[in-house]
Amino acid sequence: MGNEKIIEVSNLVKNFGSFRALNKLNLEVNKGEVHGFLGPNGSGKSTTIRILLGLLSKSGGDAKLLGQDPWKDAVELHKRIAYVPGDVNLWPQLTGGESIDLLGNLRGGLDEKKRKELLDSFQLDPRKKFRTYSKGNRQKVALVAALASDVEVYIMDEPTSGLDPLMEAVFQKHIKELKNQGKTILLSSHILAEVEALCDRITIIRDGKTVQSGTLSELQHLHRTSIKAHTKDKAKKLKAKGVHNQRLTEDGMKLEFEVDSESLDKAMAELSKQNLVSLVSQPPSLEELFLSQYDTKSKASK
Amino acid sequence: MNGLRGTWHLVRVGLRLDRVKLPIAISAVCLMFFFTVSSVVDLYGSSPEGLINYAATSAPSVVGRVFAGPIHGPELGSVVLNEGFLFTALAVAFISTLTVVRHTRQNEETDRSELIGSMTVSRHAPLVAALIVALIANIAIAFLASVLMIAGSGGELSVGGSILTGVTLGAVGVSFASLAAIVAQLTDGARSANALCALVIGVAFLLRAIGDVTGDLVNGGLGVQSNFPSWLSPFGWGQQVYAFTENNVWILSLFVGLTVVCVGFAAFLMTKRDIGSGIFATKPGPARAKPSLLSTFGLARRLQKGIFRGWTAAIAVLAISYGLSLKEFQGFLDDNDEFREAISSISQSSDDINYIFLSVLIAFMGITVAGYVAQGLLRMRSEESTGRIESVLSTGVSRYKWMMSHIMYVLLGAIALTIVSALGIGLTYIITTSAPWDQLWDIIYASLAQITAIAAFAGFVIALFSFMPSLAMPLAWGGFASCIVILQLGVVLDLPQWIIDISPFGHLPAMPADSFQLAPAAWLTTAGLSLAVLGLIKFRRRDVVL
Ligand SMILES: Nc1ncnc2c1ncn2[C@@H]1O[C@H](COP(=O)(O)OP(=O)(O)O)[C@@H](O)[C@H]1O
Ligand SMILES: [Mg+2]
């Protein structure tokens, strides 16, 4: 797979009038990876995606898709990508099946077998008029149209926010299939379990800026591990640097704390001198990573 | 009152949502009514002879009976009602049905219903709330129309009659609101509910038109006694009130009765359907697209088809009634020298009064086609503002191709509609007046010349779409309305040339009375083309604006 860059966004700026929606945002997606794109509402995910699709122009910085300029080379590029918008709005008077055929053909053709398979697995009735579909079914229409096209890159903007858990599983199955075929997927999402299950690497943004980027384990590495130690004798608090939030239980036999990953070694050495009965350690979940970003935000805005 | 829990809350939400829409619609309709009243009073207030002339022309006229109604006699109040009542009532009916559908079925389709659903409201509350919003709107109409009628008549019309007229307008509105409450239970969504409401209004209009046309001449040929079909329509009831002469207040009880029956029936139907679907089940559509849809132009055709069909029907009806009016116009001119003089001044070179009148009608048809052009081209804007354009543009359709597909369709549509209007006017005119057949060519040429002004207007709308997308809709319709007003006033008043020049239609010679002029035609076309090209270039360079 190598390290061929499919999406390269650096220092991207977008102004809407005097409002700066993107403020030097960075995003890199390698070939063949599923890349999670996370951020609170209004952080600029959809704006970044619209720039990558050539729907919006950038105000500064650089954005490249498949090595080309998405604004100038929009038409050629679009034959090689499929897009699922966050708010799926199609023509109320067309049926789901008609919309799928139309979008697929405009993109240069649909895989008939795939189309049927997708309709079955998503349990979508293609004969209903678009206006009568629920939110989840509207998303299914866009998903079927995108997933049934054979392209190199799939760009999806919160594609599952209206799906029930059963359909979420179907969605994940199809994404894994694409990943096995070596396709590249940019997945903006709010559903952390989905990102944890699917994504090789993630980028977290806030206020139009990238705050974290890397593989899940890299990011977890940068964060605190939480430890619960059970000792035979009374436990003593640790003196090592990078240990936070130490809590002794009332009987004094249990010690809980969080530790920065770079100080883990020293903390464990100090801890092992005490008479340990059991030890539980937990890497941070994506949710905690994500929340810690929100935290900094609320602190910053105070 | 447990069955209606949440109603007042919904009424407040509804009024808030409509706080711009309804006041604008209501005041626009009432102002139009005011202008009609005051201009009729100005024209005929001190001229009993004029009133007799008016009644004598209007009573036997088929067009007059269809589009104005059954005039009572040569009284000022009757003439005012004949000119102003029917079209105001029609607008009030539409305002009422649209309001009810908006607050029932449209709410169910949008996120608003989720908002409302999270509150505890009873099953019937949304329907009752929608009806109350419509009732409030109609009370406002009744009040405003009465006040403006009293003001517009300058003391020439009785206050009691003016109030009765206003109340009748409101009552017509409430009746249609309650009919809409039934319709809203039947269809599969808001769109089809609005379409069915339009059909109901159309049938009500037609029933009374039939009753009026087949009615008898009374009052020595100066009045009309409608036939029974007029009594099958709320519009007919409204006209039979004859506020300034017969004062049939009892008819108001018909409106009340209809409203009570309809609301009761709608409430019953409401218990028989699920939220988000109608009594009539939706037929499944095609599971696959026809090949003809599968291209950029195929999509544009599908999206534009409905708009084109609607305008074709409207323009055919309008053109035929214009054609019919020419014969009556001849009769009218025979005993009205002043008007004859006024209209002669429209042409530079000709004094063929038929051709001069035709030139005015053809210009009106040209502007009507421009209305189609505005709606057709603004479809691009609604595709953009709803975000549907993003799905299309991200498939590899170029912006240029997408825009051209809509422009080409609308341009071809405008040419087709121009020909329809020429044939509609020309054929009915020639057949009813036994004019020589070669005049048809003159009418077709004159109509085709309008296309140059239509092209200029199209360029204007295209440029608006590209350069000021968020304002394109109001500005385009504003431009369209200005063209109508300028032409209308230009016929009656001596407008300064610079005002006439604002409208592209003001630059054309009065064909077929005057002959074709190359210069204005050439520069109108050039202006339209240049604006369109600028628009195409600009759209490639601007952001997609939701
Ligand atoms: N066309 C626009 N005009 C003005 N502001 C916009 C526009 N589009 C987005 N924004 C603003 O830019 C910010 C980022 O929005 P968006 O990219 O939609 O965020 P996300 O998709 O992460 O929720 C928001 O504050 C939003 O209000
Ligand atoms: Mg978004």
CB contact at 8 A, B132 and B181: no
What is the pTM for the complete model shown? 0.77
Pick from A92, A110, A100: which is nearest to B289 by CA? Answer: A100
Q: For residues A35 and B78, give the distance between their C-alpha atoms in angstroms, rounded to a whole number.
A: 75
Which of A88, A89, A132 comes nearest B188 by C-beta?
Answer: A132
B165-203 burial by CB neighbour count: b if 16+ within 10 A, else e? Answer: bbbbbbbbbbbbbbbbbbbbbbbbbbbbbbebbbebbee
Residues B344 and B374 in one domain: yes
Angle subtended by helix axes B353-385 and B472-492, to nearest 10: 170
pLDDT of residue B1: 44
Residues B316 and B215 in one domain: no
Domain end (from B281, B308, B326): B281
Host H or E run for residue A83: strand A81-84
Instruction: Please say if the pLDDT value at position A283 is more than 80.
Output: no
Interface-testing mutation among A102, A127, A130, with chain B (most B C-beta atoms within 10 A): A102
Task: Tell me if ipTM is over 0.90.
Answer: no
Is B186 in the A-facing interface, judged by CB distances under 8 Å? no
Ligand nearest to the CA of A47: 1
Residues B270 and B335 in one domain: no
Q: What is the block-wise mean pLDDT of chain B (546 residues), using blocks of 10 residues?
A: 76 90 93 90 88 90 88 94 94 96 83 55 86 97 96 92 97 97 88 91 94 92 93 96 95 97 93 76 84 94 94 93 82 70 75 86 95 97 94 94 97 98 95 91 96 97 97 94 84 74 89 90 96 97 93
Residues B268 and B320 in one domain: no
CB contact under 8 A, B543 and A108: no
Query: How many angstroms separate the Cα of B528 from the Cα of each of A137, B457, B472, B474?
Result: 43, 7, 16, 20
Residues B235 and B369 in one domain: no
Residues B238 and B299 in one domain: no
- Number of structural domains chain B divides into: 2
pLDDT of residue B39: 87
Interface-testing mutation among B388, B394, B397, with chain A (most A C-beta atoms within 10 A): B394
Q: For residues A58 and A48, give the distance between their C-alpha atoms in angstroms, rounded to a whole number.
A: 9
Could you tell me the pLDDT band of residue A296, with boundaries at 50, 70 and 90?
Answer: low
CB contact at 8 A, B512 and B358: yes
Residues B146 and B200 in one domain: yes
Instruction: Please say if the pLDDT value at position A292 is more than 70.
Output: no
Residues B275 and B294 in one domain: no
- Of the listed ranges A140-154, A287-301, B217-231, B277-291, the least confidently predicted one is A287-301
Query: How many angstroms separate the Cα of B71 from the Cα of each of B217, B226, B472?
Result: 10, 9, 41
pLDDT of residue B278: 74
Is B281 in the A-facing interface, judged by CB distances under 8 Å? no
Express each pLDDT in B67-98 by its tens digit.
899 999 999 999 999 999 999 999 999 999 99
Residues B148 and B31 in one domain: yes
Express each pLDDT in B360-416 by its tens digit.
899 999 999 999 999 999 999 999 999 999 999 999 899 999 999 999 999 999 999
Considering only alpha carbons, which residue of chain B is nearest residue A146?
B395
Residues B262 and B367 in one domain: no
- The average pLDDT across A242-253 equals 85
Instruction: Please say if the pLDDT value at position A70 is more than 90.
Output: yes
Domain end (from B240, B260, B281): B281
CB contact at 8 A, B57 and B339: no
Residues B433 and B476 in one domain: yes
Pick from B18, B15, B144: which is nearest to B88 by CA? Answer: B144
Could you tell me the pLDDT band of residue A73, with boundaries at 50, 70 and 90?
Answer: very high
Q: For residues B470 and B413, give the distance between their C-alpha atoms in angstroms, rounded to a whole number.
A: 25
Host H or E run for residue A209: strand A209-215
CA A188–ligand 2 middle distance (angstroms): 8
DSSP label of B3? G
- Read out DSSP for B80-125? HHHHHHHHHHHHHHHHHHHHHHIIIIIHHHSHHHHHHHTS---TTH
pLDDT of residue A301: 42
- Sign, CA torsion B168/B170/B173/B174: negative
CB contact under 8 A, B397 and A126: no
Supply the range of the domain harboring residue B213: 1-281
Q: For residues A180 and A177, give the distance between their C-alpha atoms in angstroms, rounded to a whole number.
A: 5
Q: Is the peptide bond before B512 cis (omega within 30 degrees of 0)?
A: yes
Residues B268 and B314 in one domain: no
Q: For residues B343 and B366, give the distance between their C-alpha atoms in angstroms, rounded to a whole number.
A: 19
Q: Are strands A60-65 and A81-84 parallel, antiparallel or unpaired?
A: unpaired
pLDDT of residue A300: 43
Would you call A80 exposed, middle or buried from its count of C-beta atoms within 10 A (0-12, 13-18, 19+)? middle
Q: Which residues contact A177 (CB under 8 A, 6 or more apart)?
A: none
Could you tell me the pLDDT band of residue A161, with boundaries at 50, 70 and 90?
Answer: confident
Domain end (from B238, B257, B281): B281
CA distance B293 to chain A (A): 7
Express each pLDDT in A162-207 by its tens digit.
888 899 999 999 999 999 999 999 999 877 788 888 999 999 998 9
Ligand nearest to the CA of A41: 1
Per the structure block, which two tokens stand in for B539? Answer: 């759209």
Angle subtended by helix axes A96-106 and A135-147, to nearest 10: 30
